[in-house]
């Protein structure tokens, strides 16, 4: 009896899912461990903010170089190198809040290393995953971020309490090392990269429409994707690319504002203790995990069954996700209970994750050969959105404090959540007008 072989591309997708989970465990874990250590030695809030934000500066700087490196060297190799670098940094750098310079350098290194990860993942998935599986593959991979964040919030505070903050670094380094070993052992480039004639069997780029001259060039052992000249000007002047960029900016603006300021809203805006809330503060991230995968399955179903074109599928899910999220964001200050605030934030983040089956997968629709490059460009905008949104929110709250010293009135928080809500509406309109599901870069 012949046994079914587990497709290699499924294993690659599972490994990228674990990859994003581990990355977000690291991000949440550092915030928890450093805050605990810094508070213990009396570090002021300004210094804490500097250290916590340093990661994002390094992360923003390496997005586009990450896409370029994945294009030229290969996403598989770049992904492994980035994981080894940030894991080694976590293992070797002691967590000492008094050594500010060392902490800044360490967080910059981790940020730069992790900045290579998502462009590399998109390059790998664009090579391995056929179009009718892309939505659920990307959605599953990115949902690892939310599951990692939820797991970090649930388990790491107890680790800090019983084993100390340095234990978090060691656990993160161990997780990174274990994933690196799995990736080194089981991941590979698509067969087409070693055997050009294997394109006829349906590997990598061959699942996409190619014209006769391209096919002839590949069958004759022509130049590979990695040696192709990157059309930077065409990418940067493309309206469909900018539609993705705008939506990536908005998604991360809303995500980072909620990640960083929702706990403050509970404590100061609603006068609630986070400890009393228990595991309910995890619900928004778990909702993101669930809705991200729902969006991927629904999108692939619509495309595979030819119910809607790729373009209409992307626009439908992006619009539903961002419009519902905008309403939930604007409604957050209206509710004055923890249940209402958790519900609204869960709906907002869940439907934003649903929208990723629109804009986030679209990198590989329009530019499968340059998915890592386009992802690098759009993720740079997303990282800058986090820096801008978190900083602007702090300034808005400082301004509101002059009117309401306790920040307990809904008016103090209305603008904080109204801005990302308005951005969601604007971004959904931009995506409706300018996006496409057709391949525009050869």
Give tens-digit pLDDT for 207-234. 333 333 444 343 343 344 445 677 888 8
Are 386 and 57 in contact, with CB atoms under 8 Å apart?
Answer: no
Best mean pLDDT range from 29-38, 141-150, 340-349: 340-349
Query: Which tokens in the block code for residue 134?
Result: 């892309």
Length of the chain: 442
Q: Using the predicted structure, report yes or no on whether residue 278 has a pLDDT greater than 80.
A: no
| Residue burial 68-98, b: 16+ Cβ < 10 Å; e: rest | bbbbeebbbebbbebbbbbbbbbeebebebe
End-to-end CA distance of the chain: 43
Give tens-digit pLDDT for 378-404. 988 998 887 888 778 878 887 887 777
Q: Using the predicted structure, report yes or no on whether residue 428 has a pLDDT greater than 90.
A: yes
Using CB atoms within 10 A of its CB, is residue 297 exposed (0-12), middle (13-18) or buried (19+)? middle
Q: Which of 224, 259, 68 is nearest to 152 (CA)?
A: 259
Are 425 and 95 in contact, with CB atoms under 8 Å apart?
Answer: no
Give the whole-angstrom CA distance, residue 382 versus residue 284: 19
Using alpha carbons only, give the angle 330, 312, 244 rounded to the nearest 5 degrees: 60
Average pLDDT of span 108-136? 87
Domain ranges of the chain: 1-188, 233-442
Q: Using the predicted structure, report yes or no on whether residue 96 has a pLDDT greater than 90.
A: no
Q: Using the predicted structure, report yes or no on whether residue 435 has a pLDDT greater than 90.
A: yes
Q: How many CB atoms lie within 10 A of CB 300?
A: 21
Rounded to the nearest integer, the mean pLDDT of the chain is 82
Longest dimension (CA), the chain: 76
Q: Which of 250, 260, 280, 282 is nearest to 397 (CA)?
A: 260
Give tens-digit pLDDT for 119-131. 899 888 888 888 7
For domain 233-442, give its CATH number from 1.20.1250.20, 2.60.40.420, 2.40.420.20, 3.30.465.10.
Answer: 1.20.1250.20
Give the whole-angstrom CA distance, residue 273 versus residue 129: 45
Best mean pLDDT range from 203-212, 235-244, 262-271, 433-442: 235-244
| 1-188 and 233-442, same CATH topology | yes
Query: Which tokens in the block code for residue 244?
Result: 């993705």
Residue that wins the pLDDT comparison between 55 and 200 = 55
Residue that wins the pLDDT comparison between 200 and 442 = 442
In the structure, what pLDDT confidence band is assigned to residue 41 with cuts at 50, 70 and 90? confident
Using CB atoms within 10 A of its CB, is residue 305 exposed (0-12), middle (13-18) or buried (19+)? exposed
Which ranges of 164-282 does DSSP label H, i.e. alpha helix?
165-186, 191-194, 212-219, 232-236, 239-264, 274-277
Query: How high is the pLDDT of residue 210?
Result: 36
Number of H helices, E strands in the chain: 19, 0
Are 199 and 192 in contact, with CB atoms under 8 Å apart?
Answer: yes
Give tens-digit pLDDT for 287-325. 988 998 899 899 989 998 999 999 999 999 999 999 999
Give tens-digit pLDDT for 152-211. 877 888 888 888 889 999 999 999 999 999 999 998 877 754 433 333 323 344 333 333
Residue that wins the pLDDT comparison between 410 and 225 = 410
Q: Which of 132, 94, 173, 106 is nearest to 305 (CA)?
A: 132
- The fraction of the chain above a pLDDT of 90, given in percent, is 35
Query: How high is the pLDDT of residue 442?
Result: 64
In the structure, what pLDDT confidence band is assigned to residue 46 with cuts at 50, 70 and 90? low
- Kindly compute the dihedral angle of the four CA atoms of residues 387, 385, 169, 288, in this order, to the nearest 10 degrees: 140
Give the whole-angstrom CA distance, residue 313 versus residue 318: 8
- The fraction of the chain above a pLDDT of 70, given in percent, is 86
Q: How many CB atoms lie within 10 A of CB 237?
A: 10
Q: Which of 215, 246, 209, 119 is nearest to 441 (CA)?
A: 209
Average pLDDT of span 263-276? 71
Query: How high is the pLDDT of residue 199?
Result: 35
Residue that wins the pLDDT comparison between 94 and 214 = 94
- Write the CATH number of the domain with boundaries 1-188: 1.20.1250.20
């Amino acid at each position: 009896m012949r046994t079914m072989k587990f497709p290699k591309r499924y294993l690659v997708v599972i490994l990228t899912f674990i990859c994003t989970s581990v990355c977000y465990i690291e991000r949440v874990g550092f915030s928890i461990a450093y805050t605990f250590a810094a508070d213990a030695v009396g570090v002021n809030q300004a210094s804490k903010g500097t250290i916590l934000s340093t990661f994002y500066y390094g992360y923003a700087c390496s997005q586009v170089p990450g896409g370029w490196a994945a294009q030229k060297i290969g996403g598989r190799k770049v992904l492994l190198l980035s994981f080894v670098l940030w894991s080694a940094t976590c293992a070797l750098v002691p967590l000492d809040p008094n050594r500010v310079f060392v902490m800044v350098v360490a967080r910059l290194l981790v940020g730069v290393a992790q900045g290579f990860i998502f462009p590399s993942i998109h390059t790998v998935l664009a090579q391995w995953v056929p179009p009718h599986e892309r939505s659920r593959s990307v959605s599953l991979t990115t949902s690892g971020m939310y599951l990692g964040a939820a797991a970090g919030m649930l388990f790491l505070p107890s680790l800090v309490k019983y084993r100390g903050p340095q234990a978090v670094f060691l656990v993160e380094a161990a997780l990174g090392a274990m994933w690196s070993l799995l990736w080194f052992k089981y991941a590979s480039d698509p067969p087409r990269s070693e055997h050009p004639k294997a394109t006829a069997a349906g590997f990598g780029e061959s699942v996409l429409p190619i014209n006769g001259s391209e096919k002839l060039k590949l069958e004759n052992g022509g130049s590979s994707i990695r040696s192709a000249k990157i059309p930077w000007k065409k990418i940067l002047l493309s309206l469909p690319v900018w539609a993705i960029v705008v939506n990536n900016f908005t998604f991360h603006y809303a995500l980072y504002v909620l990640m960083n300021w929702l706990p403050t809203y509970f404590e100061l805006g609603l006068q609630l203790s986070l400890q009393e809330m228990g595991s309910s503060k995890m619900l928004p991230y778990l909702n993101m995990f669930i809705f991200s995968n729902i969006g991927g399955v629904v999108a692939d179903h619509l495309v595979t069954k030819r119910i809607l074109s790729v373009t209409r599928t992307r626009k439908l899910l992006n619009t539903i996700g961002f419009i519902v999220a905008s309403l939930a964001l604007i409604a957050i200050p209206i509710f004055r209970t923890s249940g209402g605030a958790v519900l609204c934030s869960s709906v907002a983040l869940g439907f934003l994750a649903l929208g990723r089956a629109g804009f986030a997968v679209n990198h590989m629709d329009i530019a499968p050969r340059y998915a890592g490059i386009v992802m690098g460009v759009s993720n740079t905008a997303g990282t800058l959105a986090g820096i801008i949104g978190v900083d602007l929110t702090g300034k808005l709250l400082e301004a509101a404090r002059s009117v309401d010293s306790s920040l307990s009135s809904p008016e103090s928080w209305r603008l904080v959540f109204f801005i990302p809500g308005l951005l969601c509406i604007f971004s959904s309109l931009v995506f409706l007008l300018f996006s496409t599901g057709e391949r525009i870069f050869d």
